[in-house]
Structure formats: structure tokens, C-alpha cells
Amino acid sequence: MEVRKLGNAGLEVSAIGLGCMGMTGMYGEPKDRDEMIALLQAAVDRGVNFFDTAESYGPFTNEALLGEALEAVRDSVVIATKFGFNLKSDGVRGQGANSHPDHIRKVAEASLQRLRTDRIDLFYQHRVDPKVPIEEVAGVVGDLIVEGKVRYFGLSEVSPATIRRAETEQPVTAVQSEYSLWHREPEAELLPTLEELGIGFVPFSPLGAGFLTGQIGLETKFASNDIRNKDPRFTVEARDVNLVLVELIQSVANEKKATPAQVALGWLLARNAWIVPIPGTTKLYRLDENLGAVDLTLSDSDLRRIDEAAVAITLKGEQLPEAALAMTNG
């Protein structure tokens, strides 16, 4: 497995990580625990060393799952988790943002216990808390780093201005945001800022929540508790328009003897050496498919052709609203 560095901080991770949110819900019912433990361990066997979780996934159960699955190989993996929401002990979500310093410390201690570890490799603020200055947030994470409980500081879904303010208190190692051929907003301002500051980028939903795999059509139905039911891009009307992008990716995949998922991930990997996507899956064959993107070569002419064709496609539906994200904590 190819290894990449997230920014200038020296954090080395596998070129493709594993997003673990879907293992404990969000895209329907939670999956069988033993099967997910086996999948996580299979990922390690295949060279994946970068695993993404959050206290809000489940809530809480996702971190516990990773803690059990990865305890025996803890020193050879990088675990990223997140803080930033109020979550009740009974698992109720949608209680609003909370990045007060005392809360961050409580989350860190609880996450350490669930993850069965003595340090969090990458600790992200999950969403900006408008009530707490980002400098204060960065400062308390910096204190946790000094104490050895956290190794690196990350931010999720933030503006360049917020990143620059955070950097005045504590270097930011990685920023996580939605990015794919389906959602290219980070290209305007975020990616240039990260390159300038030497910060790594971790695209979540790099396969468009499954849409770019080519496995979702007009007739696809989602479970009642699937987050995609809230996403404007997944209405039947939007899918009818957006499938044109999938057809483009499929045409390239046919030429390369690859799959649409591999082309979508390969496109991301080719953007820059400090970009590390974290596709999620609950199936071993999909894990193997995704990891195959590392071996896919897209030439400069391939990339130009994809970009030129993609730019000409007008997609339908806005990104999942922030209000919905707050309710799902995804």
C-alpha cells in the first residue's frame, strides 16, 4: 500500500483510509459487529492503516467497535476521531455544537477509553462551534497534544479563514471535507489554502455516498433511516440528471478496465500527494475494489478529459444541508 504524508507535520498514512461511520448506522441499520471487526482487521491485513471514526457515529458505538477491532495492532494504525457535538448518554443526536474546552477534554477522555488506547492520533473538530472562538479550541487541543493524549489536530468542514485563525494557536495537520467529482467546492479556496499552509486534506464521501460507484439508479430505494433520504442530490429527479456524471466515469472505467469507484478515487489521488480519501464500506469486496484505485494510473490527458467533461455537466441538488448534518452528525 502506498503511504502518503498529511501535510508538513509528518503524519504518514495509507494512501486510502477507511471511513467507518456506516458500520454502526447512518446508511440503514448497524451492521453485524463480528463482521465489521473482521472487515477492519482485513483492511489492516491489506495495508490500510488510517481509520476514521467519531464519538457521534452510533453515537459512541463506532469508536468502541474500532477499539475492539484494532487493539491488537494499535501501534501500527492511525485512528482519527472527532469532537464538537452535545450527545446524550442515551444516544440521542442533534443536541447542537459544543466545543467548549471542558467538553473537548471530556470527549477526549471518553474516546480514549472506547478506543482502548492512550492517545488519539488525529483529533478533529467535527463542526465549528459559533459560540467558541476557534483559537480557544485550537489551544485546548494543543494542550492535549502536550499532555500526550492527542498527536495531531484536525478540522472538518471549515473555511480558509477559520483554518488561518486556528493556525495562530496550534498547527493544523489535516482538514476533512466533502470532495469528489460530485462535489468540487473545495477547489475554489480550500485546497489552495491547504497547499499554502502545508496541511493535508482528507476527502470524506469521495464516492458521493455511493452514487459514483454506478450502483445507484433511478429505482434504488434506501432504508427509512438512511441519511441519503435527506440529501437533495438523491431525489429521483436529481438522480435522473446526475447520472450523466456516472456515465462519464463509467466510460473512463471501461477504457481502463477498472470500476467507476476506482476511477473516482484515482482521480482524487491524482489531484495531489497530500490528499487521502476515506471511502467507507461494510463489504470486503468493496474494500478490495476501493483499494485497487491505488494501482490505477490516470494520465494527464485522462485527467484533462475527465475535468473538461465534468465541468460541462450541470448537477442537480445542493449538498446535504448543515441542519441535517447537525442532526445526523455525519
What are 233's three cell numbers? 442530490
pLDDT given for residue 202 in this prediction: 98
pLDDT given for residue 62 in this prediction: 97
pLDDT given for residue 320 in this prediction: 63
pLDDT given for residue 63 in this prediction: 98
CA distance 126 to 325: 11
pLDDT given for residue 303 in this prediction: 95
- Give 10-residue mean pLDDT values along the chain (330 residues): 93 98 88 97 98 94 98 98 84 74 97 98 96 98 98 97 98 97 95 98 95 93 89 92 94 96 98 97 97 96 92 83 43
- Per the residue annotation, which of 57, 124, 152, 179 is the catalytic one? 57
pLDDT given for residue 318 in this prediction: 80
Q: Does 57 participate in catalysis according to the annotation?
A: yes
- The DSSP bridge partners found for residue 11 are 6
Peptide bond into 101 cis (omega under 30): no
Sheet holding 18-19, edge to edge: 18-19, 50-52, 78-83, 120-125, 150-156, 174-178, 200-204
pLDDT given for residue 188 in this prediction: 95
Verdict on whether the full-model pTM lies above 0.85: yes
The residue ranges of every structural domain in the chain are 3-208+271-296
Give 3-208+271-296's CATH code, choosing from 3.20.20.100, 2.30.40.10, 3.40.1280.10, 3.40.50.1110: 3.20.20.100
